[in-house]
C-alpha cells in the first residue's frame, strides 16, 4: 500500500478544551502521515485549565498549544473536519477537500462533580472516538 498524508482538524467554539483534548489524544496515537490540527470558530486565547489537567492525567500534554482560529486555507485543504459538541457551526465552502462530521460530546452538569470531573467524562468520550478514528485512519495511511 502507498502511504499518503491525511489531515484531521478538530474544531470547537473556543479551541480551548474539547478540540485541544481531541488533538492531543490523536497526536498520542502516533500515526505516521497523519497531520493533526485544531481550531475554533470563536477562539479565546487561553486553554481550559481543566482540559489541560484531564489530558495530563493520561500522561499527555497540550504544552505549546493555544486557542486559535481556523484559517480558510486549512479549512479547504484538510481531509477530515471533526466538530466537537453542538455549539460550533461550520458549513462547506467552495473548493473544500474534506468532510465535516460532528461528535456530540457529553454535557455533564454539576451532578457529575466538579469541573475537572465533568471534563474527565468529556475527555473519556473523546478518547474513545479518537481511538476509533485512529484505527480508521491507520487503514488509509
Domain boundaries, the chain: 7-138
β-strands 99-103, 34-40: how paired?
unpaired
Say if residue 65's pLDDT is above 80: yes
Superfamily of domain 7-138: Response regulator (3.40.50.2300)
- Name residues whose C-beta falls within 8 Å of residue 10's C-beta, 6 or more positions apart in sequence: 18, 19, 20, 22, 23, 26, 36, 37, 38, 39, 82, 84
What's the chain's average pLDDT? 92
Cα angle, residue 31 at apex, residues 92 and 9 outer, rounded to 5° = 20
Share of the chain above pLDDT 70, in %: 98
Give the pLDDT confidence score for residue 139 in this predicted structure: 86
Give the pLDDT confidence score for residue 62 in this predicted structure: 95
- Cα dihedral 81, 84, 85, 89 in deg (nearest 10): -30
What mean pLDDT is predicted for residues 22-50? 95
Give the pLDDT confidence score for residue 92 in this predicted structure: 86
Q: What are the pLDDT digits (tens) for 94-104? A: 888 899 999 99
Amino acid at each position: 500500500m502507498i502511504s499518503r498524508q491525511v489531515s484531521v482538524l478538530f474544531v470547537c467554539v473556543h479551541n480551548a478544551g474539547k478540540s485541544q483534548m481531541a488533538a492531543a489524544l490523536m497526536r498520542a496515537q502516533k500515526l505516521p502521515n497523519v497531520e493533526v490540527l485544531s481550531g475554533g470558530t470563536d477562539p479565546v486565547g487561553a486553554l481550559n485549565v481543566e482540559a489541560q489537567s484531564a489530558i495530563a492525567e493520561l500522561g499527555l500534554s497540550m504544552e505549546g498549544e493555544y486557542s486559535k482560529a481556523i484559517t480558510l486555507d486549512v479549512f479547504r485543504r484538510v481531509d477530515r473536519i471533526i466538530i466537537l459538541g453542538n455549539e460550533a457551526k461550520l458549513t462547506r465552502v467552495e473548493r473544500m477537500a474534506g468532510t465535516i462530521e460532528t461528535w456530540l460530546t457529553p454535557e455533564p452538569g454539576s451532578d457529575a462533580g466538579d469541573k475537572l470531573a465533568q471534563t474527565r467524562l468529556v475527555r473519556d468520550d473523546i478518547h474513545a472516538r479518537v481511538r476509533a478514528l485512529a484505527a480508521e485512519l491507520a487503514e488509509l495511511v
